[in-house]
């Protein structure tokens, strides 16, 4: 069941495949009424994508079209256009991902639609946007990843061009579209005016090149791929262990010092080549070689325990099956999401006191003592709503809801 936050919105969804359906999925999951319009006979092309299939339904289609209602309308027929116009009369939002001008020819472009419903928020998602020399080109995630620069900075130096493992420009376009739609809806609330939101896969990809663009415009240097490494800080990347890899996020001086203490390499703290982040970046190859030799000496889980005890950000590199069997993911899914369905917001828990630098300096906790409960709570716990602004009836509702969820879980 979706949240009810956007239950006031009626959305006409004329999209298919990924970017558009992901946008309307985000709106639907927050309670919007989404009416998905599909073509006769075949529907959304994603319905045929697979395997895998679940009872003859594409798993890919189901994953991004939940919480929506579907209707078949033939936009090539006059009566189909009339049905669409009737739906538009009472809609708050229309989302479409046809090539530019396609819906204009059908009388369903923005100017035509705003004549029917002046307050509608009309969102167009395409490969390259509604203007410019590329506007008529077809838009696919792979093409946009290549043309946005993302593939030029992904993977390892010297390798074949590598795309991001997920369809990142499709997903980011959907995210930007949902963001733009809600901004336009706020404008409508304030002014009564609808707006046209124009989203492209290309620009959505370019929008993610924040640091790479900053490097280029400030220095003229053209950034290249860095593997798992950070472009500005070190050490911040994956390192080999005795049985796999571990991600280390010792990107600032405090975490660098914690890491060196945790892995018993205090000698690195007095090495001028690694004295600060600038020096570590200047000597990155030597730094990676040095740390790799150390991390190869123990298993990933052993290093994770050692590093987390000292408050060093780190983590394993999980496969998809491991992700969905992770106890933290399962715990959050079972409790937090059920609370959200009741409109009860939560947030992540505290960072254990014995791992915080200020308390370490005060020597309040024995260095080698383990605080299992505190560490478990920091990983698996969450805050419930609290504060002076919450009424007694709201506190009672939260408490009873949580008890009911936990009773059903057990």
Known catalytic residues are 170
Q: Which of 12, 8, 6, 42 is nearest to 27 (CA)?
A: 6
> What are the backbone angles phi and psi of residue 149, rounded to the nearest 5°?
95, -10
DSSP string, 93-106: EEEE-SPTTHHHHT
Q: Could you tell me where the beta strands, DSSP code E, fall in 234-393?
A: 236-240, 245-249, 314-316, 347-348, 382-383
Residue of 64, 33, 35 whose CA lies nearest to 47? 64
Task: Calculate ∠ Cα 306-356-334, nearest 5°.
Answer: 75
Nearest-angstrom CA–CA distance, 278 and 370: 34
What end-to-end distance do the CA atoms of the chain give, in Å? Answer: 21
Give the span between the Cα atoms of 66 and 345, in whole angstroms. 21
Nearest to 112, CA basis, from 89, 136, 135: 89
Asked if 204 and 144 count as a contact pair (C-beta separation under 8 A), the reply is: yes
Query: CA-to-CA distance for 172 and 123, rounded, in angstroms?
Result: 15
Q: Among candidates 328, 319, 378, which has minimal Cα distance to 353? A: 378
């Amino acid at each position: 069941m979706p949240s009810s936050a956007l239950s006031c919105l009626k959305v006409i969804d004329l999209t298919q495949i990924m970017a558009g359906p992901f946008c309307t999925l985000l709106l639907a999951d927050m309670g919007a009424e989404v009416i998905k319009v599909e073509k006769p006979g075949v529907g959304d092309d994603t319905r045929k994508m697979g395997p895998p299939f679940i009872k003859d339904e594409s798993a890919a289609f189901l994953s991004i079209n939940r919480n929506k209602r579907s209707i078949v309308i033939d936009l090539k027929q006059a009566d189909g256009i009339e049905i669409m116009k009737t739906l538009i009369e009472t809609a708050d939002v229309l989302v479409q991902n046809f090539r530019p001008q396609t819906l204009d020819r059908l009388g369903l472009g923005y100017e035509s639609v705003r004549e029917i419903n002046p307050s509608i928020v009309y969102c167009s998602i395409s490969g390259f946007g509604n203007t410019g020399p590329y506007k008529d080109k077809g838009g696919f995630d792979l093409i946009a990843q290549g043309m946005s620069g993302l593939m030029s900075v992904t993977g390892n130096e010297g390798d074949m061009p590598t795309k991001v493992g997920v369809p990142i420009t499709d997903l980011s376009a959907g995210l930007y579209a949902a963001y733009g739609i809600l901004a336009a809806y706020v404008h409508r609330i304030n002014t009564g005016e609808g707006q046209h939101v124009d989203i492209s896969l290309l620009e959505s990809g370019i929008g993610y090149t924040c640091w790479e663009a900053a490097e280029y415009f400030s220095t003229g240097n053209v950034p290249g791929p860095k593997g798992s490494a950070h472009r500005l800080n070190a050490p911040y990347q994956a390192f080999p262990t005795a049985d796999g890899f571990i991600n280390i996020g010792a990107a600032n001086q405090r975490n660098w010092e914690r890491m060196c203490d945790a892995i018993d390499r205090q000698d690195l703290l007095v090495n001028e080549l690694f004295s600060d982040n600038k020096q570590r970046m200047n000597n990155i190859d030597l730094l990676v070689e040095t740390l790799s030799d150390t991390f190869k000496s123990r298993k990933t889980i052993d290093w994770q325990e050692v590093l987390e005890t000292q408050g060093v950000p780190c983590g394993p590199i999980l496969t998809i099956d491991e992700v969905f069997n992770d106890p933290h993911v399962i715990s959050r899914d079972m409790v937090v999401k059920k609370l959200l369905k009741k409109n009860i917001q939560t947030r992540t828990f505290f960072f254990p006191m014995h791992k915080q630098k200020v308390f370490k300096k005060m020597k309040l906790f024995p260095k080698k003592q383990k605080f299992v409960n505190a560490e478990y709570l920091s990983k698996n716990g969450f805050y419930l709503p609290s504060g002076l602004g919450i009424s007694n009836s709201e506190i009672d509702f939260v408490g009873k809801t949580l008890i009911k969820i936990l009773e059903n879980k057990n």
